[in-house]
Amino acid sequence: MDYDIPINIAGLDLKNPVIVASGMLGLSQSIFNRLYKIGAGAIVSKSISLLPREGYRNPTIVSVGNMSYINAVGLANPGAESFSTEISKNNGPLLVSLVGSEKSDFSSIVKLFRDHKILGFELNLSCPHVEKMGMEIGDDLNLVYDIIQSIKKETTKPLFVKVGLGKSDIVEVANVAESAGADGITAINTLRAMKIDIETQCPVLENKIGGLSGSAIKPLGIRCVYELSKSLKIPIIGCGGIMTYSDVVEYMMAGASAIQIGSLIGLKGICSVGKIVRSLRSYLEAGNISDIREIIGIAHR
Amino acid sequence: MLIDKNLMRLVKIEDVSIETPTVKTIFFKDSLSSVSKPGQFLMVWIPRKEELPLSVMISDKKKYAAITIKKNGYGSTSLFNKDIGDRIGIRGPFGNSFSCNKALNNVIFLGGGTGLVPLVRLLYYIKGYDSKFTFIMGAKTKSEIMFTELINEWAKVKKIDLHIATEDGSLGAKGYPTDILRDFLSVHKDIDMIYTCGPELMMKKAYDLATKYSVHMEASIERYMKCGIGICSSCCINDKLVCVDGTIFNEIKIQKLTEFGVSYRNKSGILTKF
Ligand SMILES: Cc1cc2nc3c(=O)[nH]c(=O)nc-3n(C[C@H](O)[C@H](O)[C@H](O)COP(=O)(O)OP(=O)(O)OC[C@H]3O[C@@H](n4cnc5c(N)ncnc54)[C@H](O)[C@@H]3O)c2cc1C
Ligand SMILES: Cc1cc2nc3c(=O)[nH]c(=O)nc-3n(C[C@H](O)[C@H](O)[C@H](O)COP(=O)(O)O)c2cc1C
Ligand code: FES
């Protein structure tokens, strides 16, 4: 009961608006069960591709201080078939994140999951560090439209589209996603970034370039959600640099109906998921806010 | 100022000691690692090559720390080839630690391969306790046996029973260290703790024996690690993350780990049988 802040988003009833972002603890059903138990409103799986991917060699994640990381995991994942076996007994609020390099990949992956007990899907159009996957697709608006339509043909489950800051305008990409039938937008993903060790004079990440996450990107995330909510009818899930309940409130005031947390789990551990829900509840109680919907988009007034 | 242990620190290799033809201990200055607890590990960056999780080894010098590396594949060989003056990056220490309990009467250490690293470090820390110590180590062959000089040195001050098993019988008993453990437990009824680290199938045998004889145990479990900070889930075993919930698990926790000694996740995250 402690974790109840009921919210409805894109037709889904969630017990609270705190969702675990893709790439965080996203591989194992046992860990999903642990996350449900400790309060997660929903979980997004690691982005799943048609075939298994080993990802890049270590180091894949580097801390850059100020509660921020740069990662280039390289979309390591067990592939659609193994993962569909992994979650075959799931009955918690799980969204499967999809990644691919061509249109046909997505429909093949979705077919494997459409009969599973999952909430729906999130399309990752914004991974900034793998060639021909994620961002490079997100930058091609015609392809985005086609992919979303091909996914919607295979499933009636809700589809969220995760957009980031690539070459194309984020609002434009999201508008295309909405017109193609997306049920919601997740914003934002990590941003292309780099760390060089000045003593050895070499890039730290094996892939050299990775994606920046954590506190450093929060103001960008807030701005994106604010702009997106001006022009979209479908709901938005805010993501990027959320560390405390006040960051959640800020995202919701900008227009997000729910939020995702990522880096926080690395900084404060797995229990931070439940803690942020509980402190959000206390905030609402203290402010006599009986329905969290009251604060969504309030900054637009 | 508080140092963020997640931020990579560049350190210079100050000294190197050869343990076996394929194993080296590397010493460097780092105050955070020097005060790490027995059983904790570091993420070690070999510039332009790889980053590896490695147990913290012993260093006698204040503010210094050490790691012991066995030459194996790409990453470990790159580190093995480093020498005095070369620089490596470290972050950590991460993970929990072995319990160090003065009240224990009769303690067994059971290790194989580089699993010996955290065990000898633990022994170093608790060798002053009144407990009785038995150290059982295993290797394929004589040339791979290491740290016996260290242990024999400490044994001059305090009795430490050292048993060695080699698979080819070139040193000590022929067979597995768990054979020695089995015989030992069947005779000695007063053992109160087994500390173990090494190949998982060896630790699984030790767990089965510990259960049979109702002896407490703590095992350091190894899994493929990427982040070391509990976000990538590559190191998961059942619903636990080895990098933050472990690496050390006691018999009560192991009982719930149905994947222990059975399966692990490969680099892409697929559950794979041993
Ligand atoms: C907590 C922990 C402590 C460790 N302590 C030591 C130690 O003190 N001394 C020591 O020599 N080795 C230790 N290892 C093992 C070490 O991290 C490497 O696995 C080993 O050095 C082989 O590396 P490689 O690059 O040569 O392997 P590769 O040839 O790349 O791979 C061979 C095998 O090594 C293992 N491996 C490779 N990279 C990793 C990784 N990032 N995480 C886990 N396993 C990996 C995998 O099983 C892989 O199949 C430890 C591992 C863990 C998880
Ligand atoms: C280690 C790591 C792995 C990630 N993997 C994925 C992924 O597979 N798919 C995806 O859509 N986003 C991935 N992300 C991005 C996160 O889902 C999230 O959008 C980003 O980290 C910003 O949120 P944060 O600041 O709360 O971490 C990853 C992030 C990190 C740090
Ligand atoms: S190594 Fe990433 S979660 Fe443990």
CATH of the domain at A104: 3.20.20.70
- Ligand 3: which residues within 6 Å by Cβ? B 225-228, 230-235, 241, 243
A87, A90, A98 from A45: Cα distances, Å: 10, 12, 9
The radius of gyration of chain A from alpha carbons, rounded to an integer in Å, stands at 18
| pLDDT score, position A281 | 96
pLDDT tier for residue B2 given thresholds of 50, 70 and 90:
low
* A101, part of any domain: yes
Say if A134 falls within a structural domain.
yes
Cα distance between residue A167 and residue B56, in whole Å: 44
Q: Is B274 in the pocket of ligand 1 (CB under 6 A)?
A: no
Residue A83 has pLDDT above 70, yes or no: yes
Residue type, A26: G
> Is 60 exceeded by the pLDDT of residue A54?
yes
| Best of A61, A69, A73 to mutate (most B CBs within 10 Å, chain B) | A61
| Burial state string for A236-270 with b = 16 or more CB within 10 A and e = fewer than 16 | bbbbbbbbbbebbbbbbbbbbbbbbbbbbbbbbbb
SS (H, E, C) chain A: CCCCCCEEECCEEECCCEEECCCCCCCCHHHHHHHHHCCCCEEECCCECCCCECCCCCCCEEECCCCEEEECCCCCECCHHHHHHHCCCCCCCEEEEECCCCHHHHHHHHHHHCCCCCCEEEEECCCCCCCCCCHHHHCCHHHHHHHHHHHHHHCCCCEEEEECCCCCCHHHHHHHHHHHCCCEEEECCCEEEECEECCCCEECCCCCEEEEEEHHHHHHHHHHHHHHHHHCCCCEEEECCCCCHHHHHHHHHHCCCEEEECHHHHHHCCCHHHHHHHHHHHHHHHCCCCCHHHHCCHHHC
Query: Among B6, B8, B269, whose Cβ lies nearest the Cβ of A204?
Result: B8
Residue A1 lies in a domain: no
Is A202 annotated as catalytic?
no
- Domains in chain B: boundaries: 9-94, 106-273
Residue among B231, B233, B241, B268 whose CB has most ligand 2 atoms within 8 A, to mutate:
B231
Q: Residue A49 and residue A97: Cα distance in Å, rounded?
A: 9
What pLDDT does B252 receive? 97
The pLDDT score that the predictor gives to residue A212 is: 97
Residue A185 domain flag: yes
Residue among B51, B244, B268 minimizing CB distance to A59: B51
The pLDDT of residue A149 is above 90:
yes
Nearest by CB to residue B270, choosing from A52, A61, A206, is A52
pLDDT for the residue numbered A26: 87
pLDDT at B1 over 60: no
Pairing of strands B240-241, B236-237: antiparallel
**What is the enclosing helix (H) or strand (E) of B185?**
helix B177-187
Percent of chain B with pLDDT over 90: 96
Q: What is residue A4's predicted lDDT score, i.e. its pLDDT?
A: 93
pLDDT, tens digit (0-9, with 9 covering 90-100), for A15-52: 999 999 999 998 999 999 999 999 999 999 999 999 99
Among A66, A189, A215, say which to mutate for ligand 2: greatest number of ligand atoms within 8 Å of CB. A189
Cβ separation B267–A86 shorter than 8 A: no
Chain A nearest-CA residue for B53? A58
Among A45, A50, A58, most B C-beta atoms within 10 A, so best to mutate, is A58
Contact A128, A211 (CB under 8 A): yes
Q: Decide if A136 is inside a domain.
A: yes
Structural domain harbouring A225: 7-300
Cα separation values, B235 from A217, B69, B83, B240, Å: 27, 20, 30, 8
CA dihedral A151, A152, A158, A164 (to 10 degrees): 50
Q: What mean pLDDT do residues B162-191 have?
A: 96
Looking at the CA of residue A77, tell me the nearest atom of ligand 2.
Answer: 8
Confidence of residue A1 (pLDDT cuts 50, 70, 90): low
Q: What is the DSSP letter of B39?
A: T
- Best CATH choice for the domain B9-94 from the list 1.20.20.10, 1.10.357.10, 3.40.718.10, 2.40.30.10: 2.40.30.10
Model confidence at B183: pLDDT above 60:
yes
* Model pTM above 0.90: yes
> Cβ–Cβ of A200/B8 closer than 8 Å?
no
How many Å apart are CA A95 and CA A9, to the nearest integer? 13
Cβ pair A213, A68 in contact under 8 A: yes
Confidence of residue A297 (pLDDT cuts 50, 70, 90): very high
Domain B106-273: CATH class, spelled out: alpha beta
pLDDT in tens, B89-111: 999 999 999 998 899 999 999 99
Residue A137 confidence (pLDDT): 75
Strand B236-237, strand B193-197: pairing: unpaired
The CB of A74 under 6 Å from ligand 2? The reply is no
Question: By CA distance, what is A261's nearest residue in B?
Answer: B231
pLDDT digits (tens, 9 = 90+) for A182-212: 999 999 999 999 999 999 999 999 999 999 9
Confidence of residue A71 (pLDDT cuts 50, 70, 90): very high
**Res. B3 pLDDT band, cuts 50 70 90:** confident
| Cα-based distances in Å from A34 to A11, A38, B109, B196, B250 | 25, 6, 33, 27, 20
In this prediction, residues A106-119 reach a mean pLDDT of 95
Q: Write the pLDDT tens digit of every residue in A119-137.
A: 999 999 877 777 777 667 7
Domain count, chain A: 1
Q: Let me know if residue A2 belongs to a domain.
A: no
* Res. A224: pLDDT tops 80: yes
Q: Per residue in B80-91, pLDDT tens?
A: 999 999 999 999
Q: Residue A171: CB partners within 8 Å, gap ≥ 6?
A: A227, A228, A231
Report pLDDT for A134: 66
